[in-house]
Amino acid sequence: MGARIAGPVVRFQGGRLSGERADAARNRLAVLRATEELLAQSGPELFSLDQVAARAGVGKGTVFRRFGNRSGLFQALLAERAARLAEAVASPGTELGPGAPPRRRLLGFLDELSDLAGRNVALFTAHERVCAQDRYADPTYVRWHRHLTGLLIELLPPGTDPEFAAHALLALFDGDLVRHVVEAGGVDRLRRSVRGYAETLLRA
C-alpha cells in the first residue's frame, strides 16, 4: 500500500519526480515536510493523516490518494532522504558508483548510510515501527539490500549467505540502536563503529 512515488527507479529533478506536475510536486513536498514536523513533535503512532493534511494545507483526499497511509508517508519521506545516496550509487565515476572497487563502494555506502540514519533517527524508527514486516518490501530497503548483496557476493568468502549478510549490515541502522549509539557519541561515533565493524567482516 501507499508510496506510489517510491518505485524502484526514483529520479528527483529539481525537487520534482520525472513526469510530475509542478503543483503536485509542491503538494508532495508540503505533505512530506508536515510529516517530518509532526514526527519531530510526537511518536510515529501519534498523528493522523488528517493532521498531516491540515498542516500541509492540502485536502485529506490528496494525502490519502497519494500516500495511502502513514506507512506510505514514511516510505516516501525515506525515499526522498535517500535520493542523493541512490544517485551516487548509480553514477559511474564516483566513489560509490559502478566501476569503483567493491570494497570501497561498500564502505562508502555504509558511511553515507550512517550519516543519513544518524541525522534522521526519528524517521528511521518510525519507518521500522510502522512498516514493520513490510519493511522488507519497501522500495528503499529493497534497493539498499540489492546493492549490498551484489557487493557482498564479491567480497565475502564462499559459504557466507550474502543476502543474509546484507540484512545483517542494514540491521546496524535499526532506529533504536542508532539512537543508542548517537546519544553516547554522536553521528561520528556511529560512522566509526559501523566502519570498523564492516572492515572486520570484510577483512581478507
Please identify, using beta-carbon distances, which residue of 26 and 179 lies nearer to its own copies.
179
CB 137, min distance to its own copies, A: 10
- Report the alpha-carbon distance of residue 70 to residue 40 in Å, rounded: 15
CB 66, min distance to its own copies, A: 26
CB 142, min distance to its own copies, A: 12
Please identify, using beta-carbon distances, which residue of 10 and 181 lies nearer to its own copies.
181
Interacting residues toward its own copies by CB under 8 A = 45, 125, 128-129, 132-133, 135-136, 156-157, 159-161, 164-165, 167-168, 171-172, 174, 176-177, 179-181, 192-194, 196-197, 199-201, 203
Q: Are the C-beta atoms of 195 and 111 separated by less than 8 Å?
A: yes
Q: Are the C-beta atoms of 19 and 27 separated by less than 8 Å?
A: no
CB 25, min distance to its own copies, A: 32
CB 169, min distance to its own copies, A: 9
Please identify, using beta-carbon distances, which residue of 56 and 182 lies nearer to its own copies.
182
CB 105, min distance to its own copies, A: 19
Please identify, using beta-carbon distances, which residue of 89 and 194 lies nearer to its own copies.
194
Please identify, using beta-carbon distances, which residue of 30 and 118 lies nearer to its own copies.
118
* The one-letter amino acid at 40: A
Q: Which of 198, 192, 150, 196 is CA-nearest to residue 171?
A: 198
Give the burial class of 56: count Cβ atoms within 10 A of its Cβ; 0-12 exposed, 13-18 middle, 19 or more buried.
Answer: buried
* The one-letter amino acid at 50: D
Cα angle 96-98-101, degrees, rounded to a multiple of 5: 70
Q: End-to-end alpha-carbon separation of the chain, Å?
A: 42
Q: Which residues, listed in sequence order, are joined to residue 12 by a DSSP beta bridge?
A: 17
Please identify, using beta-carbon distances, which residue of 18 and 200 lies nearer to its own copies.
200
Q: Which of 127, 117, 19, 25 is CA-nearest to residue 69?
A: 127
